[in-house]
Amino acid sequence: MKEQLSAKIVCANVVATEGMSDTKYKPILDSYEKLGVNVGETHRNSKGLSIFNAVHADLILEQTIKELEDQRFFGLQGDGSHDKARKPQEATNIRVVDKSTGRPKIIGLEFSKLRHQDASTTRDAMFSTLQKHGISKAVAEKKMVSVSVDGASVNMGRHKGLKALIQNNPGMSGVIQIWITGDGGGICLSTVLIIY
């Protein structure tokens, strides 16, 4: 039974992380079986794939919450974009120090679908993502030492941008901005690091 579950979880993870179609799940299990791996007869369809992906996602979320609880401080990173249907979304990442290596580590938390791509919706999505990962607004005000975003007006707007919303929050008012710009093959990139 354990061998069957392991094979299905590994297969579901490969399908999900490689962005494969759900229809690839069963043929990969069939290939495992041809190699002598006991994959059993149940959960060999898209419903089984969904179940194993959900279990795996829950385990990853639990591990991430535990890792973030142990952090003394963190940096928040956000980047807005559009999905395939051209609907706005926000990628929220967190930067921490890896306790085992002492080196910086970026943990991808979530892509949030946005109703609008404005600063308040972006901020709400980022803080909602933090809450899902065990970081309340009160904890964020104590542990968050930086916010890293690009120079888009939704982020840098003087009065209504994400920067202004964060600066105007009483718990996060000591903001210093550091602009990092670079030329990536003719494209000028600007990143704003907001340090508390």
Q: Under DSSP, is residue 172 helix (H, G, I), strand (E, B) or coil?
A: helix
DSSP secondary structure, 90-159, as one string: EEEEEEEE-TTT-SEEEEEEEEEE-SS-SHHHHHHHHHHHHHHTT--HHHHHHHEEEEEEES-HHHH-TT
Q: What is the mean pLDDT of the chain?
A: 83
Helix, strand or coil for residue 193?
A: strand
pTM of the model: 0.72
| φ and ψ at residue 158, rounded to 5 degrees | -60, -35
pLDDT beneath 70: ranges in the chain: 170-196
38-64: pLDDT as tens digits: 888 888 888 888 888 888 888 889 999
Q: What is the pLDDT of residue 163?
A: 79
Interatomic CA distance for residues 127 and 132, integer angstroms: 9
Which burial class, exposed, middle or buried, applies to 78 when counting CB atoms under 10 A from its CB (0-12, 13-18, 19+)?
Answer: buried
